[in-house]
Amino acid sequence: MERIWHSAKGTITGRLKVAPRSMTKASLVDEMAKAQRHIPLNKFAGTDALSIEFLEYSSLAILAEELGVLISSHDIDFLSLLTEIYNSKAVYSETRRTNKLSVEVFNPQITFLGGTQPAFLASILPEEAWGMGAMSRIILIYSGTGVKKQLFPEDDLFDNVVDIKMRTLQRSIVSDFSQILDLYGEMKWAPGARRAAVEWTNAGMPPVPTHSKLVHYCGRRDLHCVKLSMIAALSRSNSLIVQEEDFRRAQGWMLEAEEVMPDVFREMTGKSDGELIKQLNFYMFSVWMRNGRKPMHESFLINFLITRTTSDRIERIISMAERANIIAREAGTNLWFPRRADEHGQVD
């Protein structure tokens, strides 16, 4: 994304303002002010220059490959500023006490893309941040696996072909940027798109995320889907009309992201595999004894772990616990029972 944005900066002079990676709250406001643009909305009427109407706005692109570089630990003021700008008010104003400088930014807007590890996210965001407006306005994209890359890609013919395709795609995206950044005006919704959106929102926007940290996010899911629909429409054409296919595509993006959002919070707990296996063994013993030493279905194990770790770790943890003789499965079934500590060499 960084390569694409900076390539765009070279070909789209003045139309794409990319912020520095590290900023204070004050410098973010200054960067927004520097990004201010005036676009004429109509042509001269005769020779009367006063007849020209201008659109004045400030659009800033922020890329934070490591979120901790941009946001200091527990920086509530910075998060509050992001929330304020997100609301896209007509004017954002601020007065600095040091030199009595007044800054006004008209029609501010931010495009923000950041990356971090969930465990680090837990260290820089206070618990109250999840109840604030900032985190409810962010769509979390989680992946439990990394991308494998060749150490020396020039030695791999397949990777060379992929690289050529990616460069071609990048040029195409930069070209699209050039056209998109020339567009302005109200996005319209085609009847089919309006109907699909209304039916979904009236039904309660199913399926609804249930994690406690996503309560405030859920209140903005309709707005997120509307914005994603606009993005989908612009990626398809420059007509400024959202079609039903754009809404369905955006809805799919959002639901796919939401399916694994709880994994972010489970990974934020940072529990090791060993800790989880001990907790699993203790849980299974309590259930096993309570139910007259009857083995339990595999679903009990999965439901216990799914609230404590990410989905990609569950199968590995169960397998490790079995190989360590901490839990055992009845042959040919999905029924499990715990082993005593003296059976697997652990003494508590």
pLDDT in tens, 82-110: 888 887 789 998 886 566 678 889 999 99
Q: Are residues 114 and 131 in the same domain?
A: yes
C-beta of residue 247 within 8 angstroms of C-beta of residue 229: yes
In this prediction, residue 80 has a pLDDT band, given cuts at 50, 70 and 90, of confident
In this predicted model, what pLDDT tens digit does every residue of 251-265 receive, in sequence order? 999 999 999 998 888
**The domain boundary residue, chosen from 270, 304, 319:** 270
Q: Are residues 104 and 197 in the same domain?
A: no
**The domain boundary residue, chosen from 248, 270, 292:** 270
Per-residue pLDDT at 347: 44
Q: Is residue 222 part of a domain?
A: yes
Q: Are residues 302 and 337 in the same domain?
A: yes
In this predicted model, what pLDDT tens digit does every residue of 144-195 receive, in sequence order? 777 777 777 666 666 666 677 878 888 888 888 778 877 888 899 999 999 9
Q: Are residues 64 and 106 in the same domain?
A: yes
Question: Rounded CA gap, 52 and 44, in Å?
Answer: 6
Per-residue pLDDT at 154: 62
Q: Is residue 166 part of a domain?
A: no
In this predicted model, what pLDDT tens digit does every residue of 9-45 receive, in sequence order? 655 555 778 888 888 888 899 999 998 888 777 654 4
In this prediction, residue 220 has a pLDDT band, given cuts at 50, 70 and 90, of very high
Range of the domain at 231: 185-270
Residue 131 in this model has a pLDDT that exceeds 90: no
The rounded mean pLDDT for the chain is 84
Nearest to 34 by CA among 13, 58, 12: 58
Nearest to 20 by CA among 37, 6, 36, 8: 6
Q: Are residues 245 and 337 in the same domain?
A: no
Q: Is residue 177 part of a domain?
A: no
C-alpha distance from residue 166 to each of 99, 253, 323 (Å)? 49, 22, 43
Instruction: Name the pairing type of β-strands 188-189 and 241-242.
Output: parallel
**Which residue blocks in the chain are alpha helix, DSSP H?**
2-11, 25-34, 67-70, 76-86, 118-124, 133-136, 157-180, 191-202, 215-218, 221-236, 244-268, 273-290, 298-306, 311-323
Structure tokens at 326: 């901490």
Q: In total, how many domains does the chain have? A: 3
C-beta of residue 64 within 8 angstroms of C-beta of residue 114: yes
CA angle at residue 122 from 78 to 260, to 5 degrees?
A: 105
Domain CATH for 290: 1.10.10
Q: Are residues 321 and 262 in the same domain?
A: no
